[in-house]
Amino acid sequence: MPPAPALSRPWYLYILECVDGRLYTGITVDVDARYKAHIEGTGAKFTRSFPPKRLLMVKTYADRSQASKAEHAIKKMSVAEKRRLAGV
């Protein structure tokens, strides 16, 4: 009998506001750990240059594919559209 499929973990899309007002969008399976990495300068190259000030939005997706598609769509948006989406 084959082993039971592993439980899939949800993926999260998040938007950060950086200290200079720029926005960063990313995906992860652990928002807290990823935010900590951004703060410590071990996250994305972008957030090493523009450290995050606060987390604006987190949205849950069933899998990486859905989160990646949403991330791609959001990265095409203007800053104003992203801020409206995040409710700020």
DSSP reduced 3-state for 41: coil
Q: Tell me, what amino acid is at 61?
A: Y
Contact 17, 23 (CB under 8 A): yes
Q: Is residue 32 part of a domain?
A: yes
Domain containing residue 43:
11-86
Residues 62-75 have pLDDT tens digits of 999 999 999 999 99
CATH number of domain containing 77: 3.40.1440.10
**pTM beyond cutoff 0.75:** yes
Domain total of the chain:
1
Contact 13, 67 (CB under 8 A): yes
Residues 31-87 have pLDDT tens digits of 999 999 999 999 889 999 999 999 999 999 999 999 999 999 999 999 999 999 999
